[in-house]
Structure 1
Amino acid sequence: MTALTSDYLSLGLDVEPVDKLIDSKTWKIIANEDEIIKIKQSGKKTGQLKLLVFSAKESLFKLLFPLINRTFSFDAASVCLSETNPSNQFIIKLRKELHPRLR
């Protein structure tokens, strides 16, 4: 992926093998209670959705770290999966204030 630096402040991109499995111990670190419940109730393949949540949060970290120069944990954000979209689109929301400009 390429982009003009004049067009973007930062870019967050995470690439994972589609068959990567997230074990239950790691999943409890990555996901918040709402994400765990929604994925269980979704009726979709949970392995792919868990990987999507992980990759979304990793992408957010890669996007924000160069801008705020601060590390943060997985619980700083929540991934809201689209229940009606088959392409697994999502919205990611900050749950904690990471920087005054990010609310």
Structure 2
Amino acid sequence: MRASAVRHLIALSARSLGFLKDVTLYDTEYVDAVLLHGRFDFKSYTEDLFHKLALTLPPSLSTALPLRRAEFLAGRAMARAALQALGQHAAEIAIGSDRAPVWPKGSVGSITHARGHCVCFAKCDPRWQVGVDVEAIASGHALKSILTMAANQRERDLIARQTALPPDQLATLLFSAKETLFKGLYPLVRRFFGFDCAELRTPPANGFLRLHLTQTLCRELPAGESYDIRFNITADRALTWLALRPVRSRCDWPRGM
């Protein structure tokens, strides 16, 4: 699978005429799953790239800013490439009522993009839930916002005293991991929940970052439940991903919630 996938990725980059570049296939450590990371160059974006890449610009994005359309194109191109790498039918991935991608039967996935980075994590087993997130390493105001809004005091103390990663990288990684956890759990919970619902209690190690739920989201997701989120980090970006098999297709809501 890997050799044919790499050939397809090379061809995809060529067809995009410089729009998509550095597309890389990562080892997810999950069976029958694909993680693709690449970059997209907004300066190389043109509307006719949708035709060249055999993708459709949905009517809902007809009035969107060019950057939003470029992000959509990059994400859907990566998603189709991921499905092809899995041997799945690379159908159009529609936009659902909650704005999330609607994956073809027999597959599940997650798409993310940030500052020219684009990632898709897909798995050919719809019983699973997956999440992926990529973030440019934060600095200045963005870093301050993460430490204020996405981290609690215990997490800020941990970021300040640990030596595993520079503080800006760990803060960005924490933010990305919480985004990934939200994406993985949202299809079960079907409601939004904040950064305060999960907490980092130990430094990341060996490519894993463990988050603990601080609140009960529903019976199947009680406070104290932990999730090991995989990550890959470089000097300019943090990448996190998660796959989990739910007990039930959706949460069984207790009375009063």
TM range (shorter): 0.7 to 0.9
Structure 1 segments unaligned to the other structure (5+ residues)? none
SS at match of 1:29: helix
TM-score (norm 1): 0.83
Distance verdict in 2 for CA 1:26–1:16, change over 3 Å:
closer
Stretches of structure 2 that go unaligned for 5 or more consecutive residues are 1-120, 223-257
Mark the structure with the bigger radius of gyration: 2
CA distance in 1 between counterparts of 2:127 and 2:187 reads: 16
8 Å CA contact 1:53–1:79 kept in 2: the answer is yes
Higher relative contact order, chain-length normalized (CA < 8 Å, sep 6+): 1
CA contact (8 A) 2:131 2:182 kept: yes
Count matched residues.
99
Q: Any conservation in 1 of the 2:158–2:203 contact (CA below 8 Å)?
A: no
Q: What is the letter of the counterpart of residue 124 of structure 2?
A: L
Q: Give the helix-richer structure, 1 or 2.
A: 1
Task: Give the fraction of aligned pairs with identical amino acids, expressed as a percent.
Answer: 30
**2:160 maps to which residue?**
40
Q: Which structure has more strand as a fraction of its residues?
A: 2
CA contact (8 A) 1:14 1:59 kept: yes
* Counterpart residue number, 1:49: 170
SS across alignment from 1:13: strand
Q: Deviations over 1:57-100 (max 9, x none)?
A: 000110111111010010000023436x3x45211110001111
Match of 2:203 in 1: 82
Q: Find the partner of 1:59 among 148, 173, 180.
A: 180
Runs of 4 or more off by more than 2 Å in structure 1? 19-23, 80-83
